[in-house]
Amino acid sequence: MLTFKNTTGPFSQTPESLAAAGFYFTGRVEYLQSTGFSDDHAHIAVRHLNQTGNINPSIEDLIDCIVLFQEKIFEENASLRTILKCTKCRQNNRNALFLPSCHLMLCMCCARGIRFCPSCNKEITETKETCFSESLPFMMKENARK
């Protein structure tokens, strides 16, 4: 809040609302900085708000929009994590690739002794163990939270 003391500039918000939103003033109007979100987040939020008719969004509108986008991303990541789980035990990730059907439904533990593909009922001639890269974006987000 103190960084906004004696500032003049084209701010449509009060110094109190800017400070409460995590912004601080660097001394130059064009260098208003945020302590929380990147410029990419802000640009995406402004573009989205402009497309929905909010031509002059407030700081609160921007933050609400950014938070909403982040919540949607985390929900989608949670959904993707469940899709990767074995359809039988729901504990391990799917890693047993059935040939020749090429279906990936079970983990190697649950695939033991399976002779016919649970998806298409084709006879399984070979089971290959697969692995997922830890560099998948949703895996990285999950690991970053721990």
| 97-117 confidence digits (pLDDT tens) | 999 999 999 999 999 999 999
Flag whether pLDDT at 93 surpasses 60.
yes
Number of folded domains that form the chain: 2
Residues 9 and 71 in one domain: yes
| pLDDT tens, residue by residue, 32-86 | 444 455 667 777 888 888 888 888 888 888 888 888 888 888 888 888 888 899 9
Higher pLDDT, 39 or 137: 39
For residue 18, the model assigns a pLDDT of: 61
Q: State the residue range of the domain holding 52.
A: 2-82
What are the residues whose beta carbons fall under 8 Å from the beta carbon of 66, sequence distance 6 or more?
37, 41, 42, 44, 45
Whole-number pLDDT of residue 48 = 86
69 with 20, same domain: the answer is yes
- Phi then psi dihedrals of residue 34, to 5 deg: -110, 145
Higher-confidence residue of 26 and 130: namely: 130
Compare 19 and 65 and report the one with higher pLDDT.
65
Same domain, 41 and 97: no
DSSP element (H, E) containing 24 = strand 23-25
Residues 51, 37 share a domain: yes
Q: Are 15 and 35 in contact (CB under 8 A)?
A: no
**H or E stretch covering 128:** strand 126-129
Residue 23: Cβ-neighbour burial (10 angstroms; 0-12, 13-18, 19+): buried
Pairing mode, strands 96-99 and 103-106:
antiparallel
Say yes or no: 92 and 113 in one domain.
yes
Do 96 and 117 lie in one domain? The reply is yes
Question: Tokens 């009060």 correspond to what residue?
Answer: 14
